[in-house]
Chains A and B, each alone.
Chain A
Amino acid sequence: MIGPDGRETYRVVWPRGAKAVQATDVAPRLSTLDGKTIGQLWDDLFRGDEIFPILEEEIARRFPGVRFVRYDTFGSTHGRDEQRVLAELPGKLRELKVDAVISGMAC
């Protein structure tokens, strides 16, 4: 087609793909961390092995009844085994009665 300026015009289509997931709300939050079990997930990078103990210490100071399941329970969330680790995660979190998760490290 020729436009009003004499130049050819093009009717063009969208280059993207349809989303395969719909946006969803995140899970409800906990009212307190006291008495809760918090799982740690680590991608084996960026000093998570130093950071998680600091978090444990500081959170336990404020919420004495909190319990942690350490990251080595689950395996690394990044690398060769990540797909297996993530696939096994829901079952393990249920089995270990984990109430919340801290996941790192995005650096």
Chain B
Amino acid sequence: MPSASLVCEGFRSQAATTATGLGLPGLPTALVPGHVDVQSADELRQNVAAVTVDAVIRNLTEAVAEVGNAVVEPAPSDIVIEGNLDEVNRFFYENDWSDGLPIVPPTPERVGEFLRWSPLPAETELGVLLPDQRRATVWNVAVNGVMAGCRPEYMPILVALIEAMADPRYGVEHSGNTPGAETLIILNGPLIKELGFNYEQGALRDGIQANTTIGRFWRLYLRNVAGFLHHRTDKGTFGNTWRVVLAENEEVLRRIGWTTIAEDQGVAGANAVTISRYTGGGVIVSVFGNTPDRMLPYLADSVVRKVGWELMFTVGMGVGSQKPLLLLSPILAETLAKAGLDKAALKHRLFELCRIPAGQFERYIGDWTNLVPGRPTLSSLVKAGVIPEVFAESDDPERLVPIVCRAEDLMVAVSGDPLRTNAYAFAHNGILGFPTTRPVRLPAEWSRLLREARGR
């Protein structure tokens, strides 16, 4: 069916490259001049009438050039270059296959070593990734794992990560959105210790091979197989760089009787990865107090301060999909648990405390931004049955309302320096990077392979 796609001026390149990735390189687009957010109603009308209307009519009535011959691409195991380290790195960078840091050359021998650690055969297809519609396979997981500097024994985690990336619930296709949110990978299970992940001081900092290289792998895979590239399919206004893997402190969690993130997500008693996109966050320093009543107001206030436009995911796009993450250092978690709070109780206490004035909420979603169509009030959304009644217990704009729909929407993890009273709050990109958990499957020979690897 003929179509016209309305595209603001700065997004034409993304439109063209995304259309090409989807297999429609000739898809016509109709220009909307400038950006609509900064135009008055009159300016918008003038621009649309003067430019967009004609473009739409052309899109729908003028013939589009036929697609030329298909570009011939290498086969997965083709040798694309033989060269020294500098030549390989320059070739990969010039072809947009590298992030600019030196890569480990993905020779067939190195890839083969990774494949020994895979729970699945090399040719297994894990999914088809948007926007480029390329096949994610165990083979190309291994190739990108080599490039990132991962060790072969990380391969089961890499495979699980790409299974999660390919899960439609996650929404990998949104990874180029303008907020530039970046994925946080959370690891649970015995692999944390078996593979030497850091889960203590500096848990979010690069410098530990397992945490760091797998974080880099994620971004390389988004580049090379999903197809996110600067100035083309990636439209992050600023963007973030990739995050290191966050491993939870499971000793502490067990000791205090709290569940892990994987268990909260319904994957119990196993190695698992959870991926979610966060728009940003910040450290909460020096939480003071030895009771929940003393500690939680500060933690809750800090979570609320990190969340602004993201409120749209609570009441608008993907209602109820906003899931902020509070990362507690172990000493904070232990102190709260000592006072009798399990994770569910903690989330309920935080739900009661993570509140902002209704008028402020409405400013974020429909005054300072235009992210929820029609600029609805919270009361009108409650009346329409879109959001829970707690958002409209009165009409007072100063009434305090929650920032999420349910207590369970607040996620809590435990990691970081065990003996420092800091926490970290992440703001979440809602439906556009929804928390998705996959178990990590190990190869049958895992124990033997690991013994051999440790001897190297």
Residues of A whose CB lies within 8 Å of any CB of B are 1, 3, 5, 7-33, 38, 44-51, 54-55, 58-59, 62, 76, 78-80, 83, 93, 98-107
Complex CA distance for A25 and B24, rounded to whole angstroms: 7
Chain B residues near A80 (CB, 8 Å)?
317-319, 321, 431
B11/A25 in contact, CB under 8 A = no
Given contacts A7-B84, A55-B48, contact A17 B6 (CB under 8 A): no
A13/B6 in contact, CB under 8 A = no
Given contacts A8-B85, A30-B61, A104-B5, contact A20 B22 (CB under 8 A): no
Closest chain-B Cβ to A44's Cβ sits at a distance in Å of 5
Complex CA distance for A45 and B313, rounded to whole angstroms: 13
- 4 nearest A-B residue pairs (beta carbon): A104-B6, A17-B134, A21-B23, A107-B8
Partner-binding segment picked from B62-70, B265-273, B414-422, B447-455:
B62-70
A59/B44 in contact, CB under 8 A = no
Closest chain-B Cβ to A47's Cβ sits at a distance in Å of 5
Partner of B143, one of A13, A31, A78: A13
Given contacts A13-B77, A76-B317, A79-B431, contact A3 B108 (CB under 8 A): no
Interface of B is mostly: mixed
Partner-binding segment picked from B50-58, B190-198, B389-397:
B50-58
Complex CA distance for A98 and B70, rounded to whole angstroms: 31
Closest chain-B Cβ to A7's Cβ sits at a distance in Å of 4
Q: Which residue of B lies closest to A57 (CB)?
A: B49
Is B290 an interface position by the 8 A CB rule?
no
Can you spell out 8 A-B residue pairs with CB atoms less than 8 angstroms apart? A10-B83, A10-B84, A16-B134, A18-B135, A54-B48, A80-B431, A102-B5, A107-B35
Chain B residues near A11 (CB, 8 Å)?
79, 81-82, 107-108
Is B140 an interface position by the 8 A CB rule?
yes
B67/A25 in contact, CB under 8 A = yes
Complex CA distance for A56 and B266, rounded to whole angstroms: 48
B1/A101 in contact, CB under 8 A = yes
Chain B residues near A51 (CB, 8 Å)?
6, 32, 36, 44, 48, 52
Given contacts A12-B80, A50-B44, contact A103 B20 (CB under 8 A): no
Q: Which residue of A lies closest to B6 (CB)?
A: A104
Chain A residues near B224 (CB, 8 Å)?
15-17
Closest chain-B Cβ to A27's Cβ sits at a distance in Å of 5
Chain A residues near B87 (CB, 8 Å)?
9
Complex CA distance for A10 and B106, rounded to whole angstroms: 8
B4/A103 in contact, CB under 8 A = yes
Partner of B168, one of A8, A59, A83, A100: A83
Complex CA distance for A17 and B138, rounded to whole angstroms: 10
Closest chain-B Cβ to A20's Cβ sits at a distance in Å of 4
Complex CA distance for A3 and B88, rounded to whole angstroms: 13
B317/A102 in contact, CB under 8 A = no
A13-B107, A100-B2 provided; 13 other pairs, C-beta below 8 A?
A: A11-B79, A11-B107, A14-B80, A15-B143, A17-B129, A17-B136, A18-B134, A24-B24, A54-B49, A62-B57, A100-B3, A102-B5, A107-B11
Partner-binding segment picked from B329-337, B359-367, B368-376:
B368-376
B6/A26 in contact, CB under 8 A = no
B133/A21 in contact, CB under 8 A = yes
Interface residues of B in 57-104 (CB under 8 A from A): 57, 60-64, 66-67, 70, 73-85, 87-88, 92, 97
Partner of B140, one of A15, A29, A46: A15
Complex CA distance for A81 and B298, rounded to whole angstroms: 36
B84/A8 in contact, CB under 8 A = yes
Partner of A101, one of B3, B20, B78: B3
Q: Which residue of B lies closest to A76 (CB)?
A: B317
Q: Which residue of A lies closest to B171 (CB)?
A: A82
Q: Which residue of A lies closest to B173 (CB)?
A: A82
A16/B61 in contact, CB under 8 A = no
B317/A14 in contact, CB under 8 A = no
Closest chain-A Cβ to B20's Cβ sits at a distance in Å of 7
Chain A residues near B79 (CB, 8 Å)?
11-13
Closest chain-A Cβ to B367's Cβ sits at a distance in Å of 14
Chain A residues near B168 (CB, 8 Å)?
83
Q: Which residue of A lies closest to B227 (CB)?
A: A16
B56/A102 in contact, CB under 8 A = yes
Closest chain-A Cβ to B7's Cβ sits at a distance in Å of 4
A45/B371 in contact, CB under 8 A = yes
Complex CA distance for A93 and B83, rounded to whole angstroms: 53
B106/A15 in contact, CB under 8 A = yes
Taken residue by residue from 116 to 139, chain B's Cβ proximity to chain A (1 for < 8 Å, 0 otherwise) reads as 000000000000110011111100
Chain A residues near B128 (CB, 8 Å)?
20
B26/A105 in contact, CB under 8 A = no
B88/A22 in contact, CB under 8 A = no
Q: Which residue of A lies closest to B15 (CB)?
A: A106
B36/A23 in contact, CB under 8 A = no
A16/B225 in contact, CB under 8 A = yes
Complex CA distance for A48 and B7, rounded to whole angstroms: 11
Chain A residues near B371 (CB, 8 Å)?
45
B317/A12 in contact, CB under 8 A = no
B53/A26 in contact, CB under 8 A = no
A5/B129 in contact, CB under 8 A = no
Complex CA distance for A14 and B78, rounded to whole angstroms: 7
